[in-house]
Copies of this chain bind each other. A is one copy, B any other.
Amino acid sequence: MTGNTPDGPTAPPLDAGPRRSSPATLEDVARAAGVSLATASRSLNGSSRTVNADYRSKVLDAAARLNYSPNLSAQAVARGSTMTVALVVADITDPYFSSIAAGVVAEADQGRLIVTMAATERDSERELEIVRTLRGQRPKVIILAGSRREGDPSQAALKSELEDYERAGGRVVLISRNELGFRTVQIDNASGASALAASLVELGYRRFSVLTGNRELKTAADRLDGFTAELERAGIRVEADRVVQSAFTRDGGYEGMQTLIAAGLQPNEAVFAVNDVMAVGALSALRDAGLTPGADVAVAGFDDIPTVQDVWPTLTTVTVPLVEVGRTALRLALEDADAAAVSAGSPVATSVVVRDSTPRRA
């Protein structure tokens, strides 16, 4: 039980090395360069003011020699603003969110911004709490991915929290649906779902079910509505008992499909899962029930996450440029009000991709 290391030859020297050499400060650099603090600051960090080229290079030298790196916290305090963008998602392992995150991160480092990340685990109270603690960071931007819930009591609190934040100069961007009155990267869920419905009808399907996830999620509701609206236009009604609610996750899709199967599948039926992870779960449920997805029952999803091209059958879905959505969100946040008013107007383009999970019916 003593502190000796119990492992092999590659054990790291956890406690080696000299003690605490703190990073060089601007003052160190200034002194080393023989100039004042102000001059050092001006030549190192982007000041609009010009500095004698001589001094300037002396400072740059000294900085390099001392391996100087400006303390961002100190800069933030002095400047009164940070270079941080805070991203809050429901679940990082969900490809929907990780794709968006990738976009945000990619765009961020083109602007020397730092992105911090938090996960709500799909709990809107946690989301509120997260946004509250986020304030401490004084981020320049807050991006909220993942959709709001219908009639959620914490929504009002969230909204006012975000409004306070904007009033203090911050910028919030929502992804998916413009519900709270902030800038948002709109995804036209309803019309995407409508287009999908139209495609399925064209392929010869006449009987439909939908795995609608949590119907209180506005995204889910919009997709369901768009889908059924188009079907009605085509004279097709989807029975109330063929719309099943479950979690907005892979397992939710799996379970939803199980209840559909238990209720009895219809001949030539197509089931629309309101997102791809659910659809993928649904495929597995079919298989585990001894059915062949595609042949026995068609399945379609929404989002076009990367994995749907590797499941079998490959999944028919509605493409959403998720990574681009992430980039756009950050860009939108950084624009000034006028430009943002314009760009926030048009939803990102979606399109349906027909793959093997919805073969044409004779």
Residues of A whose CB lies within 8 Å of any CB of B are 3-8, 10-15, 17-18, 20-23, 67, 69-74, 76-77, 82, 84, 91-93, 95, 98-99, 101-102, 105-106, 109, 112, 114-119, 130, 132-133, 135-138, 163-164, 166-169, 178, 181-184, 250, 280-281, 283-284, 287, 306-307, 309-312, 323, 337-338, 340-342, 344-346
Contacts and interface: CB of A to CB of B under 8 A. Distances in A.
A290 B340 CA distance: 49
A345 B6 CA distance: 6
B340 A14 contact: yes
A136 B72 CA distance: 5
Contact of A102 (B18, B76, B119): B119
Given A69-B136, A119-B106, A178 B345 contact: no
A3 B341 contact: yes
Contacts of A22: 168-169
Given A138-B23, A307-B307, A6 B337 contact: no
A163 B7 CA distance: 22
Given A101-B117, A168-B23, A93 B95 contact: yes
A71 B67 contact: no
Contacts of A20: 167-169
A338 B3 contact: yes
Nearest to A16: B181
B341 A14 contact: yes
The 6 closest A-B pairs by CB, nearest first: A7-B345, A73-B76, A3-B338, A15-B337, A312-B312, A98-B98
B11 A164 contact: no
A212 to B, nearest CB: 20
A69 B135 contact: yes
A127 to B, nearest CB: 12
B77 A105 contact: no
Given A11-B341, A284-B309, 9 more contacts: A4-B341, A7-B344, A14-B338, A17-B166, A23-B135, A69-B136, A72-B137, A73-B76, A77-B77
Given A93-B306, A311-B310, A117 B119 contact: no
10 contacts: A11-B344, A72-B73, A73-B73, A73-B74, A98-B98, A105-B118, A116-B116, A117-B117, A280-B307, A284-B310
A101 B98 CA distance: 10
A312 B285 CA distance: 12
Contacts of A73: 72-74, 76-77, 82, 137-138
A17 B163 contact: yes
Contacts of A137: 72-73, 114
Nearest to A282: B310
A249 to B, nearest CB: 10
A280 B310 contact: yes
A323 B82 CA distance: 30
Nearest to A69: B135
A11 B184 CA distance: 9
A14 B183 contact: yes
A20 B81 CA distance: 13
B92 A102 contact: yes
Contacts of A184: 12
A143 to B, nearest CB: 13
A7 B136 contact: no
Contacts of A346: 6-7
